[in-house]
A and B are shown apart, each in its own frame.
Chain A
């Protein structure tokens, strides 16, 4: 195995294509669907599923705007409203934002961007998808059955504890967390391994695309942040189900402990949602400015340091709890420090625009929209870092406005930038520019009309999570303005759905690289074949396709009798060895069903953990059962180098 020049004729290429196609194709049919393990297949599912949850949670948001468009409205009861806002927040955070920005984008694009034929641990990838899907169905199924969680997406104790929230609602919230975070941890492991071991030869770490850097940093953050929220929700469910007293002050527990553990996850989570967006923006700005982003090293260090700093700011969610002033001022300063790396990225992006040859297409429009919207969210964030200002606007609509500017600005705008950018690669067809522009402007104006007035509402005293407000408060007019903006946003989303449908049915063929972009993913056909690259590429510079030599070598020397990938060294990406990837399997699906059954059963009886462990074990034994042919093939290829 080595990297050689491209000397292969048409006929040989055709034969190789057929051979690789047979090796890598996924099983056909409905039943076969459950055995898919290729990252493009699972990645598309993550995209579609996360987008559906985005639409469902968006409908809940529209219902809330409807309820709040009149004071003392009796349209929605407080009981239902509590379920709606809790499910909206929970679904947007756990079922849309993280799955879309991290799981979907990284599962589909990271292997392609580093020139790999599949993601590392593809079966774990499939498992991660199913377990996430089941968690989402659990949450929305519960809402339909009127057992939707109703204590807020943060579920503070003691409100969510056994005394004040009897019934199954909070249990469902807590177990849904376990489902989605298990999934996120799985994807984090896959992404880190893919980035460190499956990069194309020549793609040393200092040539890693900025988008991949973002997803890599996020994967590490997931590994440290998600266990914290699984811990807090598990301690909560133990208090609720088997009578432990972690948060019960009467038995020596502490309700503030919950807030610390939850926000130790909760704040990094915001950056887990936002950092993939910065990676997408860097990719889109580079492609449509026709130049690389200025200051590669500064952008990478900004992303990495944002990742670190995000773990040191959680107490700014707790300024009102009455903690000691000196301790709080540390977190206030740390929060202000996060502004520095973000400002560096912002300035470098603007310098890139300033020196580029701009082409304004729909993806670029979304990226520019991001700069505008996220800037507002960032600046109000500076205000919130100040303890006295925060004490006034904390838990009001000012904060609601702030984090929608940050999260919609930092995730939804980049998501649409990324979707318009990579849609041609994923589907092989172009989206309409005209409908795309309608989509952008409707959504952009609708968004600002909805959320800008909320700043004013917060300053005028409207607190969060209220199902109604008194008529003399004077809040009705601004709420109606927000409701009108929400209507525009709905039309924007409808325009996108029409656009997607038309493109799917008969959009213009995209070709390999419609934007003339530089990433390795644009070096293969659209959509990519099941084996991604006929010849895995090598890399000559930071902008892989732009910096490629006319006779850029490719990787050859595979045996082409199993799903082989080239493993490379972690830092320099020098070729190391050929590794075999597992093929299609039903076991990840069955394992997800078994784990899901255990988790859901545990809400009803602790014994479900004991009896549920049996099918889980059986599924894992099936999953890892060795295959004789594979073992013999590998053994025959082992090279023994006797010591001296």
Chain B
């Protein structure tokens, strides 16, 4: 089932693969630098580990005092102890020098990340909700602000300014392949820079425990060249189109009369509440329920009818709708391209 979601994403990207989620499979400028630091540290620390364990094992195999009777305590050779202490002093100085180098390397990586800037950056507000993501693409015209959920489109090769905040509890924004994480803490808004260097689809997820459905608070990053990104952004700016099919029009009426309208926005209609995700272009997304289910007809049906069995404890009530109502509602959702 999930493969369908990936299939949709693949179709969307026409040829760019989804990437295995991993810190060591970097596709962003920050993650790439951290990855270099990681491999160096892994190499150095593994060497230290092997040497230290070698000394312990060497000592164990070197001199045994037998195992039946506990031998008498040794007479201490103080001169040898002092010689050993001097060797240890040298080793400790080496540890301090290594740590200093590591600190400097870390600082350089941090400085690079924090020092990014751009005159006219793509600016995106990331807002954590229990348990979904709101992404708002800034614009000088308030009416041009694009609001979407759980699918973050980013242009490749340019610095992006992320403004991070939360609507309720603490969440943490993290796409391992692109950059390190940032906690989203109400009432603060913090900013961070990131840059994606490869096209592709990357999974991200909430990294700070935020309650029952922390496990199902994921999102997908779709990184594409600037021209495709701009085209996507233009499409997202448009309000929802009037549904053409009869069934979808019925579905819209169901939406407007049912509790759906009290939480969701569909721009271009009367639905304007900001409690739940913006659904204006919900059909353009590959997943629903914050990266939990591929966006298919049957999954939409299941989610609307019984969201509590998919994500127990989530804030969307399971809807008590007639089957025909449900079918037309889903038809409406699928028309919101």
Contact residues of A between 347 and 368, Cβ < 8 Å to B: 347-348, 350-351, 353-361, 368
Contact residues of B between 199 and 243, Cβ < 8 Å to A: 203, 205-215, 218
Say yes or no for B198: interface residue by CB 8 A criterion: no
Say yes or no for B80: interface residue by CB 8 A criterion: yes
Q: Which chain B residue lies CB-closest to A396?
A: B207
Say yes or no for A79: interface residue by CB 8 A criterion: yes
Known: A353-B60, A383-B45, A395-B208. A465 touches B214 (CB 8 A): yes
Say yes or no for A322: interface residue by CB 8 A criterion: yes
Contact residues of A between 448 and 482, Cβ < 8 Å to B: 458-461, 463-474
Say yes or no for A290: interface residue by CB 8 A criterion: yes
Contact of A391 among B62, B71, B181 (CB under 8 A): B181
Of the listed stretches B47-55, B136-144, B247-255, chain A binds B47-55
Contact of B21 among A359, A394, A461, A514 (CB under 8 A): A461
Contact indicator B67/A359 (Cβ below 8 Å): yes
Say yes or no for B185: interface residue by CB 8 A criterion: yes
Query: Which residues of chain A have C-beta atoms less than 8 A from B102's C-beta?
Result: 336, 382, 386
Say yes or no for A82: interface residue by CB 8 A criterion: yes
Contact indicator A322/B192 (Cβ below 8 Å): yes
C-alpha spacing A82/B313, complex, angstroms: 12
Say yes or no for B256: interface residue by CB 8 A criterion: no
Say yes or no for B180: interface residue by CB 8 A criterion: yes
Say yes or no for A604: interface residue by CB 8 A criterion: no
C-alpha spacing A460/B202, complex, angstroms: 12
Contact indicator B41/A383 (Cβ below 8 Å): yes
Query: Which residues of chain A have C-beta atoms less than 8 A from B245's C-beta?
Result: none
Contact indicator B209/A464 (Cβ below 8 Å): yes
Contact of B185 among A321, A333, A354, A356 (CB under 8 A): A321
Contact residues of B between 89 and 117, Cβ < 8 Å to A: 91-92, 95-96, 99, 102-103, 105-107, 109-111, 113-114
Known: A158-B170, A290-B71. A78 touches B213 (CB 8 A): yes
Q: Which chain A residue lies CB-closest to B107?
A: A329
User: Most A CB atoms within 10 A — which of B63, B96, B168?
Assistant: B63
Of the listed stretches A234-242, A307-315, A370-378, chain B binds A370-378
Interface string of A365-407 (1 = CB under 8 A from B): 0001001100110011011001111111111100000000000
Say yes or no for A434: interface residue by CB 8 A criterion: no
Say yes or no for A77: interface residue by CB 8 A criterion: yes
Query: Which residues of chain A have C-beta atoms less than 8 A from B188's C-beta?
Result: 256, 322
Known: A322-B192, A392-B176. A472 touches B209 (CB 8 A): no
Query: Which residues of chain A have C-beta atoms less than 8 A from B179's C-beta?
Result: 391
Of the listed stretches A192-200, A337-345, A408-416, A628-636, chain B binds A337-345
Say yes or no for A267: interface residue by CB 8 A criterion: no
Of the listed stretches A48-56, A291-299, A584-592, chain B binds A291-299
Contact indicator B207/A357 (Cβ below 8 Å): no
Contact residues of A between 475 and 531, Cβ < 8 Å to B: 514-516, 518
Say yes or no for B273: interface residue by CB 8 A criterion: no
Closest CB in chain A relative to B163 CB, distance in Å:
11
Tell me the count of chain A residues lying within 8 A, CB to CB, of chain B.
89
C-alpha spacing A321/B192, complex, angstroms: 11
Contact indicator B31/A357 (Cβ below 8 Å): no
Q: Which chain B residue lies CB-closest to A386?
A: B106
Query: Which residues of chain A have C-beta atoms less than 8 A from B63's C-beta?
Result: 356-358
Contact indicator A355/B23 (Cβ below 8 Å): no
Say yes or no for A332: interface residue by CB 8 A criterion: yes
Q: Which chain A residue lies CB-closest to B75?
A: A291
Interface string of B25-38 (1 = CB under 8 A from A): 00000110110011
Say yes or no for B183: interface residue by CB 8 A criterion: yes
Contact indicator B85/A357 (Cβ below 8 Å): no
Contact indicator B23/A461 (Cβ below 8 Å): yes
Q: Which chain B residue lies CB-closest to A318?
A: B183
Say yes or no for A438: interface residue by CB 8 A criterion: no
Contact indicator A459/B23 (Cβ below 8 Å): yes
C-alpha spacing A484/B188, complex, angstroms: 43
Contact indicator A395/B210 (Cβ below 8 Å): no
Say yes or no for B321: interface residue by CB 8 A criterion: no
Known: A329-B107, A329-B110. A392 touches B31 (CB 8 A): yes
Query: Which residues of chain A have C-beta atoms less than 8 A from B292's C-beta?
Result: 470
Say yes or no for B76: interface residue by CB 8 A criterion: yes
Contact indicator B73/A391 (Cβ below 8 Å): no
Say yes or no for B15: interface residue by CB 8 A criterion: no
Contact of B85 among A255, A294, A320, A386 (CB under 8 A): A294
Closest CB in chain A relative to B8 CB, distance in Å:
14
Say yes or no for A546: interface residue by CB 8 A criterion: yes
User: Most A CB atoms within 10 A — which of B21, B80, B182?
Assistant: B21
C-alpha spacing A292/B81, complex, angstroms: 11
Contact of B64 among A325, A348, A360, A394 (CB under 8 A): A360
C-alpha spacing A336/B72, complex, angstroms: 40
Query: Which residues of chain B have C-beta atoms less than 8 A from A469's C-beta?
Result: 215
Q: Which chain B residue lies CB-closest to A343?
A: B95
Contact of A350 among B52, B80, B85 (CB under 8 A): B52
C-alpha spacing A382/B102, complex, angstroms: 9
Closest CB in chain A relative to B303 CB, distance in Å:
15
Known: A322-B182, A459-B22, A518-B73. A372 touches B85 (CB 8 A): no
Say yes or no for A543: interface residue by CB 8 A criterion: yes
Contact indicator A460/B106 (Cβ below 8 Å): no
Closest CB in chain A relative to B327 CB, distance in Å:
26
Say yes or no for B169: interface residue by CB 8 A criterion: yes
Query: Which residues of chain A have C-beta atoms less than 8 A from B182's C-beta?
Result: 320, 322, 391
User: Most A CB atoms within 10 A — which of B73, B80, B106?
Assistant: B73
Contact indicator B211/A460 (Cβ below 8 Å): no
Contact of B45 among A77, A321, A379 (CB under 8 A): A379
Contact indicator B215/A389 (Cβ below 8 Å): no
Contact indicator B49/A375 (Cβ below 8 Å): yes
Contact indicator B65/A357 (Cβ below 8 Å): yes
Say yes or no for B323: interface residue by CB 8 A criterion: no
Known: A350-B56, A355-B80, A394-B181. A387 touches B74 (CB 8 A): no
C-alpha spacing A159/B66, complex, angstroms: 58
C-alpha spacing A516/B73, complex, angstroms: 8
Query: Which residues of chain A have C-beta atoms less than 8 A from B107's C-beta?
Result: 329, 387
Q: Which chain A residue lies CB-closest to B100?
A: A336
Query: Which residues of chain B have C-beta atoms less than 8 A from A357's C-beta?
Result: 63-65, 71, 74
Contact indicator A343/B92 (Cβ below 8 Å): yes
Query: Which residues of chain A have C-beta atoms less than 8 A from B23's C-beta?
Result: 392-393, 458-461
Contact indicator B106/A354 (Cβ below 8 Å): no
Say yes or no for B121: interface residue by CB 8 A criterion: no
Contact indicator A78/B45 (Cβ below 8 Å): no
Q: Which chain A residue lies CB-closest to B95?
A: A343
Say yes or no for B84: interface residue by CB 8 A criterion: yes
Say yes or no for B244: interface residue by CB 8 A criterion: no
C-alpha spacing A322/B181, complex, angstroms: 10
Contact indicator A78/B212 (Cβ below 8 Å): yes
Q: Which chain A residue lies CB-closest to B192?
A: A322
Say yes or no for A152: interface residue by CB 8 A criterion: yes
Q: Which chain B residue lies CB-closest to A379?
A: B45
Query: Which residues of chain B have C-beta atoms less than 8 A from A77's C-beta?
Result: 312
Closest CB in chain B relative to A231 CB, distance in Å:
20
Contact indicator B38/A159 (Cβ below 8 Å): no
Contact indicator A255/B185 (Cβ below 8 Å): yes
Say yes or no for B324: interface residue by CB 8 A criterion: no
Contact indicator A361/B21 (Cβ below 8 Å): no
Query: Which residues of chain A have C-beta atoms less than 8 A from B274's C-beta?
Result: none
Contact indicator A361/B20 (Cβ below 8 Å): no
Contact indicator A152/B56 (Cβ below 8 Å): no
Contact indicator A78/B85 (Cβ below 8 Å): no
Q: Lowest 8 A-B CB distances belong to which pairs?
A: A391-B180, A357-B65, A322-B190, A353-B59, A466-B215, A386-B106, A516-B70, A461-B21
Can you name 14 A-B residue pairings with CB atoms under 8 Å? A156-B208, A249-B187, A290-B65, A290-B70, A320-B181, A322-B164, A348-B88, A354-B59, A375-B49, A376-B49, A388-B113, A391-B180, A392-B34, A394-B180
Other 11 A-B pairs with CB < 8 A, given A368-B56, A387-B107, A463-B207: A78-B212, A152-B209, A159-B170, A294-B84, A336-B99, A343-B92, A351-B84, A351-B88, A380-B45, A388-B37, A392-B34
